[in-house]
């Protein structure tokens, strides 16, 4: 069993990191791009997380990571993105008799817009909203002492003004503790689902089926919109606890990324835990090999504080470096209860 699993994981990581000389980037060919924005201060700071994620953000990164939770855990994260855009994530996970179950909500609010129309030749005085959201349920458990598996079922919804699109999607992942000391493999497939297609009252227009004659009845008609795939992503990761003692732990990680809307790439990262995991220092470089990637590097810091025997709290900060639009600061809080 171990040999079969290890062989499959090795084949997967070779496949996902192999680069062809001529690849189409496929950028802009999928919907729900908000699903690609980094979630979880720890994972996004490390950049490579397929084999390391172990908090409620695992529900959308690699659900198998939930299986390592030993107590109830709540993660809340609010990030001011660019302009008036707000990126929010909340997830709660609860251990059960056989595994760990969880629910999450992820949203990207684009803010309020002033309406303009060709007929009004400018502003109409009205406003409209736009946002994207996904919410779902997850479950993960150990199949054998070294192997975990997890899955997430979620609803994806996007809306702008009076038009919207929705679909159902699934994430699945596995993690494997290899026989080699401190080495773990992780595999995840995220955002597998049907296509999104915008529909709504904003797409209804008056039509004239026979413009050659006057006085025709002009029925309402719907503008045709295309359906777009979700940003499907295959990640195969490797993590190594290079140093592990009571006061110091050092973990190195690498992910092979194979998205449907870009070229294949590699992400690398690391984390150092100090004072029995009370302080963590993290850094990573995402999507090495994507020429059009705007992410330069990530870095972060985490602090945990034991309030009582049954209650612990954690604060995490991540700095995201970008090329053009400026940098982004991410803050999150974790409550262990």
Q: Which domains does the chain have, with CATH numbers?
A: 2-336 (2.40.160.60)
Taking the CB of residue 211, how many other CB atoms lie within 10 A of it?
8
Pick the closest to residue 255 from 246, 267, 240, 271 (CA basis): 267
Please state the rounded mean pLDDT for residues 295-315: 92
Max CA distance (Å), the chain: 86
The C-alpha torsion from 269 through 153 and 294 to 225, rounded to 10°, is 170
The C-alpha torsion from 200 through 205 and 209 to 214, rounded to 10°, is 160
State whether the Cα torsion 284-290-293-296 is positive or negative: positive
DSSP code per residue over 268-286:
EEEEEEETTTTEEEEEEEE
**Is the CB of residue 196 less than 8 Å from the CB of residue 165?**
yes
pLDDT tens digits for 216-253? 677 788 888 899 999 999 999 999 999 988 889 999 99
159: tokens are: 């809306």
The model's pTM is 0.84
Q: Given this model, what pLDDT does residue 21 score?
A: 39
Helices of type H across 25-178: 41-46, 58-61
Helix (H) or strand (E) holding 172: strand 163-177
With a cut of 80, say whether residue 138 has pLDDT above it. Answer: yes
Q: How many residues does the chain have?
A: 337
State whether the Cα torsion 62-157-329-334 is positive or negative: negative
Please state the rounded mean pLDDT for residues 62-84: 93
pLDDT tens digits for 5-45? 444 455 455 444 444 434 566 777 898 999 998 899 999 99
Q: Given this model, what pLDDT does residue 25 score?
A: 63
Q: Given this model, what pLDDT does residue 216 score?
A: 65
Please state the rounded mean pLDDT for residues 42-63: 95
Which of 24-28, 156-160, 292-296 shows the lowest mean pLDDT across its residues? 24-28
Quote the percentage of the chain above a pLDDT of 90.
64
With a cut of 80, say whether residue 173 has pLDDT above it. Answer: yes
- d(Cα 74, Cα 330) in Å, to the nearest integer? 17
With a cut of 60, say whether residue 77 has pLDDT above it. Answer: yes
- Binned at pLDDT 50, 70 and 90, residue 170 comes out as very high
Helices of type H across the chain: 2-17, 41-46, 58-61
């Amino acid at each position: 069993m171990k040999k079969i699993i290890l062989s499959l994981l090795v084949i997967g990581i070779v496949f996902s990191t192999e680069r062809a000389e001529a690849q189409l980037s496929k950028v802009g060919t999928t919907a729900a791009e908000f699903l690609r924005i980094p979630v979880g201060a720890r994972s996004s700071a490390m950049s490579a997380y397929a084999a390391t994620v172990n908090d409620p953000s695992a529900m959308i990164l690699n659900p198998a990571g939930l299986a390592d939770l030993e107590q109830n855990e709540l993660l809340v994260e609010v990030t001011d993105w660019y302009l008036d855009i707000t990126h929010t994530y909340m997830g709660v996970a609860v251990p059960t008799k056989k595994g760990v179950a969880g629910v999450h909500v992820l949203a990207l609010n684009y803010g309020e817009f002033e309406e303009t129309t060709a007929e009004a030749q400018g502003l109409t005085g009205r406003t409209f909203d736009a946002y994207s959201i996904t919410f779902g349920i997850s479950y993960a458990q150990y199949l054998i002492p070294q192997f975990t598996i997890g899955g997430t079922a979620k609803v994806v919804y996007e809306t702008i003004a009076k038009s919207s699109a929705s679909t159902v999607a699934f994430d699945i992942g596995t993690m494997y503790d290899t026989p080699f000391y401190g080495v773990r493999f992780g595999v995840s497939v995220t955002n597998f689902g049907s296509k999104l297609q915008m529909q709504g009252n904003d797409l209804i227009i008056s039509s004239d089926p026979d413009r050659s004659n006057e006085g025709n009845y002009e029925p309402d008609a719907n503008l045709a919109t295309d359906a777009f795939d979700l940003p499907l992503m295959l990640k195969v990761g490797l993590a190594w606890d290079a140093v592990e003692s009571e006061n110091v732990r050092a973990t190195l990680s690498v992910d092979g990324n194979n998205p449907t809307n870009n070229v294949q790439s590699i992400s690398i990262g690391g984390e150092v835990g100090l004072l029995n995991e009370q302080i963590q220092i993290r850094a990573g470089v995402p999507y090495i090999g994507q020429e059009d990637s705007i992410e330069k590097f990530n870095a972060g810091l985490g602090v945990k504080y034991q309030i009582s025997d049954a209650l612990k709290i954690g604060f995490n900060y991540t700095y995201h470096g970008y090329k053009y639009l400026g940098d982004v600061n991410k803050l999150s809080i974790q409550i262990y209860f």
